[in-house]
Amino acid sequence: MPERREKPSKYTEDRRFAGAFEGETVSRRRFMTLTAHGAGGLAVGMFALPALGFAAGSALFDRPEVTWESIGDPGQFTTNTYVPKVITTVYGIGEVGKTTIYVRAYDPAQDPPKDPAIGNDFIALSNRCMHLGCPVRYVDAAKRFLCPCHGGVYGFQGEVSGGPPVRPLDRFYTRVRNGQVEVGPRYSVNSQFNRYPSYRDPGQIIDGVGEYLYPGRFSTPKLGD
């Protein structure tokens, strides 16, 4: 009958580990290794889970139907100033679902080249600051959008010109139907005014690697690619 091996002790002191303490079952080296592995796994999860959640959500849930809302005759809007308009972004919840946008006519002398998918004969900017979402106000005398909460300042095109905002003001798709300017879903732009069909929340950077760290919401309407 083969000799039965004795099971090693679980205590580091019995196993003659250097610097072992009485009653200790995990060596300090082993503890540090497990801690490092755990921290690494947590870091990977923080980066991977948002992207995986977005991918799963996009596959499992349908986006809301795209809606368009009339905001007035094209003649109301010029290229040198913005007109405030109130639109509904979330239906069925009353006044809470409404927001203010700032609208003007497209100016080829200063605006980026037209994107056929946007239909930007008119520029419609969100009033949500891209720092923490506070409402900004357009000041025509300065040709600037100002945030009263933390000092965010945006230029005439909605680009960041001062303060903590991380990207330009969000925009809305526009079109003209039956002699009326209509506003569609919201979309986000990066510092180069490149369009991202699914908008991001305030505080989320979409330049560089930020595009992948902060994927767009699958629960919001999406128009175009």
The secondary structure of residue 128, as a DSSP letter, is: B
Q: What is the CATH number of domain 69-213?
A: 2.102.10.10
Are the beta carbons of 122 and 77 closer than 8 angstroms? yes
pLDDT tens column, 130-166: 999 999 999 999 999 999 999 999 999 999 999 999 9
Band of pLDDT at residue 15, cut at 50, 70 and 90:
low
CA distances from 209 to 14, 132, 133, 145, 197 (A): 51, 20, 22, 27, 17
What radius of gyration, in Å, describes the C-alpha atoms of the chain?
27
Exposure pattern of 32-52 as b/e (b: 16+ CB <10 Å)? Answer: eeeeeeeeeeeeeeeeeeeee
pTM above 0.75, yes or no: no
Lowest mean pLDDT among 48-62, 71-85, 151-165: 48-62
Lowest mean pLDDT among 2-6, 179-183, 212-216: 2-6
Lowest mean pLDDT among 43-57, 64-78, 112-126: 43-57
Is residue 132 helix, strand or coil? Answer: coil
**How far apart are the C-alpha atoms of 207 and 73, rounded to whole Å?**
35
Identify the residue with better confidence: 215 or 14.
Answer: 215
Residue 213 has pLDDT above 70, yes or no: yes
Band of pLDDT at residue 225, cut at 50, 70 and 90:
very low
CA distances from 71 to 76, 135, 188 (A): 10, 20, 21
pLDDT tens column, 25-35: 555 566 667 67
